Structure 1
Amino acid sequence: MIGGYLKNERYEETIELYREMRSNGVEVDGRTCTFALKACTKLLDFESGREIMRTAEENGVVNNCFFGSSTISFLVKFDRIDEARIIFDELLDRDVVCWNSMSGGYVQVGSFDMAFDLFFEMQACGIRPSLVTIAGLIQACIGIGSLRHGKCIHGLLNGFGMSCDILVVTSLIDMYGKLGDIESASQLFNEMPTKNLVSWNTMISGYVQNGLVSEAFSLFRELILSARVFDSGTMASLLQGCAQLSSLDNGKVLHGSVLRRGLESNIIITTALVDLYAKSGALKLASSVFDAMKEKNVISWTAMLMGLVQNGHADEAFPIFSQMQEERVDANAVTFVSLIHACAYTGSLKKGQSIHAYLTRQQFVLDEILRTALIDMYGKCGIKTADKLLSLDAMNHGIYVVLSNIYAEGGRWSEVDYIRDLMRKRGLRKTPGYSMIEVANIVHTFMAGDDSHPYWDEISSMVEDLRKQIEDSGYVPDTRCVLRNVDEKMKVRLLWGHSERLAIAFGLISTPSGSLIRITKNLRVCSDCHTVTKYISNIVRREIIVRDVNRFHHFVDGKCSCGDYW
């Protein structure tokens, strides 16, 4: 009976029946305790779970492998990973489910190295991994961002007889997509003998994550033509793709499909619509969808708030945040970054300081993005003293770079020298910028002013040719992007040596006319390179995608999908 309640997701009745058994003196065994503990895990009832664990110990069932596995899962749910490991180590009989529970726990809390160590220990003990084991390891590969580890796990599948399992293959497609190897993901997908909707959605999502939005829509059309249905997951990925391109027309078509299929109450879909319309500059449509939402979460509120800031309505972001607080929705890091940007754009130093103070009181973790936003806000609001900004994080090299840039933009070169000298004394180095382009399965990396490439003569000639054509089209260099104390002529020369321009030039001489050029940059694209790339896309009649540290930039016919905001 207690197992029936659990199977039918009647968790409260499961625990009530367990307690009734105990009060009537009925002896409980390992299975009974396992069912009751699983119900506590589902209900997030820690105290009741502890009570069941004590009863299990009194009745001598703690070494039961089924109960042990459930105990590990229960403790992991409450971030008691060290306690879970003690239980695991004390188990006399550990089957693959126990190993999976412990390994999955490590993955859940982000201890990915421990998950791999446990897998090796599992192999040494002669335990054959299951599909769940492999799926967990694949998630660990994603967690540590290691394509090499992922390929090693992929290589093990044949030996375990799992290379055709739809769950494992779909997990691999997800891994390759998230780790940037979209070619391997596509090959796996195309070779699958059987596909389900999760497989299709994973591949579509992978294309979108890697900026291949047209490929995502092509696959969607293939999905429809194969007489298969799609769901909210499909729509969410395609809407994200439209947001990347600021493709308002395609987004409206998808919105129509959402309404016809009755998906307008799905919070993931409606949030994606708000994000799409905001990034496409259709703020009224974004507000309309947002206001009609019956349920909103932190991502929904943040999407609307970001949209206001991005579209030049930063002053309206503050009332939205007040409403969010009234609804008792906790803000996340992205929310605060958007609010801090709003303070910067409106010159609201007091509000910015208030947000900073709130983050400090709440002991909010200030990651590099938040700290950089705060520095930018203080700088734009007139606070440009080194002591104030360095107090945010004296050992964060990014703060020194931003502060140096603030001084350089104001022509305060003595302060620039001071900050750079301070970095050297503290052993900090600026992350060097570079751009990458893949041609014929070979990745070419360019640094600013780098003339070491074997095709340098051809690249240099193409850069010069582009410069002349762009200047004839009315381009005027923005030398404010060169934060060095040199004359204007040298600043222009340095601009034309920026890594993304070299990578684009190489792409133009190395790929077929009219084909897509895809560049990846490890830092933010400077405003002058952004302008130049718009000119280039119009002159050479090519689509150019540049992925920088902030977002994808899709340049087509002299325009960028970001609407010149990034």
Structure 2
Amino acid sequence: MAPGTVQLNILGWNKKLRKYVKDGQAQKAMQLFQQIQQEGMSPDTFTFVQVINACAGLGALEEGRHVHEQIIQSGCESDVFVGNSLVDMYAKCGSIEDSWKMFKKMPSRDVVTWNTMILGRVKCGQGQKALELFQQMQQEGVQPNSVTFVGVLNACASVLALEDGRCAHKQIIESGWDSDIFVGSSLVDIYAKCGSMEDAWNVFKNMPSRHVVTWTTMILGHVKCGQGQKALELFRQMQRENVRPNSVTFVGVLNACASIVALEEGRCAHEQIIECGWDSDVFVGSSLVDMYAKCGSMEDAQRVFNKMPSHDVVTWNSMILGHVKCGQGQKALELFQQMNKEGVQPDSVTFVGVLNACASIVALEEGRCVHQQIIESGWDSNVFVGNSLVDMYAKCGSMEDAQTVFNKMPSHDVISWNAILGGCAMHGHGNEALKLFEQILHDFTKIGTLQLVDLLGRAGKLHEAENMIKAMPGKPYVPAWRALLAACKIHGNVEMGERVAKQFLELEPENAVDYVLLSNIYAAAGNRHLCENVELQRHERGVENQTGRTWIEVKNEVHSFIAGNQAHPQMIEIHTEL
């Protein structure tokens, strides 16, 4: 076959390959790539870009690695478009380390490369690293675009970095991207999630156009800040402007109604939900149950609950807590038994509700059975569950059990102390109450010291903060050292940061937070080599960050996904659809 014919053929194959990828038929694209190779043709850079994009669409990490090997053999790895696709593929497949290695190897990087890496970090829950990349990008003279700013703002929102968000906002205005609807929506989101609703509102009202996501973000922001009435007013304004609400909007509106006990507004929203066809959505259904329960209308809550095609743990929790709130402890226990029969795994909120139900009807034996289930499911170290156990045993007259649970708790808050002291008072245990009070003073001294260390650290008085920690009696208090380390990052004190990190890396060598804090200090000081050394040390010790998890609903069934995990039986079909 003549060279010209081969070239013509590969162009034709590439055109077909691109169409498959564009139409979301990644599996067919992969099959076509195999066929190209069987025909004896050599893939070019365009071929490799499309195939890597197909791997990214499928989440096919191993296939992507195999194609990467072929790319290296063909000498195409240095091509910027191929490099960008590889960085993107590894990030989307959950292998952020491979993505980072490819990023560092690239001889030249354009704005797409940087955007891909920033968004990849955000997706993997590494918001702080995404912000560091943004700083590095600017130092190298690469101009950000709208996609960059969306990624940076999402990073700020994920780590509640309000000041970084404000700095990015200034750059957005200077570069003229403030009129972009996606950038505007991301600005509203970061301000709302950081609790600065005044800033969110200023961005919102100046946007030239707003879509449903922007309105929903504002509504959810007001709910989060305890401004339920404002959220409902915004919902009404949204409807006046003929913006059609989606399921997330209705969840926000129902949460607003629940927060201010607005039963009639909730019923009106329910009617609209039925009209819009969202009543079969599991998240909307759960919010309806929750709203009616919190508004004290358990009959309405039960009706919605009975009509739902499936129930998740959140729905069950709403029903159980609602019955407890309405003084129907026995009904709450019956629901819990039904929940167990249906195979729904309880969480900490479930157990808190059930223990409160036991306490309200003095059901000691049922409480002990629940306690055993808590131990088996691993929730016994949760402070909220522990508080409820102490309270249940105390109200059911078993102070010995209450004291045993209290002593085993890894930490205590004000509610813990109130529960145990209230139990002592209820049962006339004066001497025990006095001993507990002395322990309270000791614990509150530690809390007060932590707050003083935090204040001194933020003010830049790092040596004074360090001396205060060293003066504390007893065992080293890790939270205080960690607060000082965070202050070292703020003020760029690398020397002290190293010394402080050593204190608690010996105390808690398996806590990923400490490695991240030290890594961030090096990164902020521009010392990438030491930053990477910390990451290497973390991996060598087998210390991993918490895995990212997400959920989607398909045909009223909730599916859970873990970052980098390909175990779902319909993974190929799901990625193709996405």
TM-score band (shorter)?
0.5 to 0.7
2:214: which partner in 1?
Answer: 199
1:216: which partner in 2?
Answer: 231
Q: Given that residues 312 and 344 in structure 2 are in contact (C-alpha distance below 8 angstroms), is that contact kept between their aligned partners in structure 1? A: yes
1:279 and 2:294 correspond: yes
For 1:368-517, what aligned pairs fall within 5 Å after superposition? 368-381=383-396, 382=398, 383-384=400-401, 386=403, 388-393=405-410, 395=411, 401-402=417-418, 405-406=421-422, 409-410=425-426, 412-422=429-439, 429-430=446-447
Distance 2:29 2:312 in 1: 31
Q: Which of 114, 118, 133 does residue 99 from structure 1 map onto?
A: 114
Distance 2:372 2:120 in 1: 38
For 1:157-168, what aligned pairs fall within 5 Å after superposition? 157-168=172-183
Q: Given that residues 246 and 279 in structure 1 are in contact (C-alpha distance below 8 angstroms), is that contact kept between their aligned partners in structure 2? A: yes
1:190 and 2:205 correspond: yes
1:290: which partner in 2?
Answer: 305
SS of aligned partner of 2:446: coil
Query: How much does 1:269 deviate?
Result: 2.0
Change (3 A) 1:280 1:127: same
Distance 2:418 2:37 in 1: 64
Q: Which of 156, 166, 175 does residue 141 from structure 1 map onto?
A: 156
Query: How much does 1:335 deviate?
Result: 3.8
Q: Which of 350, 364, 367 does residue 349 from structure 1 map onto?
A: 367
Distance 1:313 1:247 in 2: 22
Deviations 1:472-515 (A, max 9, x none): xxxxxxxxxxxxxxxxxxxxxxxxxxxxxxxxxxxxxxxxxxxx
Distance 1:18 1:322 in 2: 54
1:7 and 2:22 correspond: yes
2:95: which partner in 1?
Answer: 80
Change (3 A) 1:397 1:238: closer
1:251 and 2:269 correspond: no
Change (3 A) 1:12 1:371: farther
Q: How many pairs are equivalent?
A: 429
Out of 46-55 and 247-256, give the one that drifted further.
46-55
Deviations 1:139-196 (A, max 9, x none): 2222332322222222221222212222112221222222222122222222222222
For structure 2, the 5+ residue unaligned runs are 1-15, 452-578
Distance 2:82 2:347 in 1: 37
Q: Percent identity?
A: 28
Query: How much does 1:120 deviate?
Result: 1.0
Distance 1:82 1:124 in 2: 22
- Counterpart amino acid of 2:253? L
Change (3 A) 1:325 1:407: closer
Q: Given that residues 391 and 423 in structure 2 are in contact (C-alpha distance below 8 angstroms), is that contact kept between their aligned partners in structure 1? A: no
Distance 2:333 2:31 in 1: 47
Query: How much does 1:123 deviate?
Result: 0.8
Q: Given that residues 176 and 182 in structure 1 are in contact (C-alpha distance below 8 angstroms), is that contact kept between their aligned partners in structure 2? A: yes
Deviations 1:67-106 (A, max 9, x none): 4444444444455333432222222222222222222233
Distance 1:338 1:319 in 2: 12
Query: How much does 1:125 deviate?
Result: 0.9
Q: Given that residues 397 and 428 in structure 1 are in contact (C-alpha distance below 8 angstroms), is that contact kept between their aligned partners in structure 2? A: no
SS of aligned partner of 1:429: helix
Change (3 A) 1:61 1:330: farther
Change (3 A) 1:356 1:7: same
Q: Which of 364, 376, 381 does residue 358 from structure 1 map onto?
A: 376
Q: Given that residues 6 and 35 in structure 1 are in contact (C-alpha distance below 8 angstroms), is that contact kept between their aligned partners in structure 2? A: yes
- Counterpart amino acid of 1:429? K
SS of aligned partner of 2:409: coil
2:248: which partner in 1?
Answer: 233
Distance 2:22 2:235 in 1: 36
Query: How much does 1:399 deviate?
Result: 7.9
Distance 2:435 2:165 in 1: 45
Distance 1:109 1:401 in 2: 38
Change (3 A) 1:417 1:2: farther
Calculate the TM-score normalised by the size of structure 2.
0.65
Deviations 1:228-249 (A, max 9, x none): 4333333222111111122111
Query: How much does 1:126 deviate?
Result: 0.9
For structure 1, the 5+ residue unaligned runs are 435-566
Change (3 A) 1:167 1:350: same
Query: How much does 1:406 deviate?
Result: 4.2
Distance 2:358 2:103 in 1: 50
1:265: which partner in 2?
Answer: 280
2:168: which partner in 1?
Answer: 153
For 1:47-126, what aligned pairs fall within 5 Å after superposition? 47-77=62-92, 79-126=94-141
1:18: which partner in 2?
Answer: 33
- Counterpart amino acid of 1:222? Q
Distance 2:40 2:391 in 1: 67
Q: Given that residues 160 and 190 in structure 2 are in contact (C-alpha distance below 8 angstroms), is that contact kept between their aligned partners in structure 1? A: no
Deviations 1:272-327 (A, max 9, x none): 11111111122222122122122444433433343344333444445545655666
Calculate the TM-score normalised by the size of structure 1.
0.66
Distance 1:318 1:59 in 2: 66
2:560: which partner in 1?
Answer: none
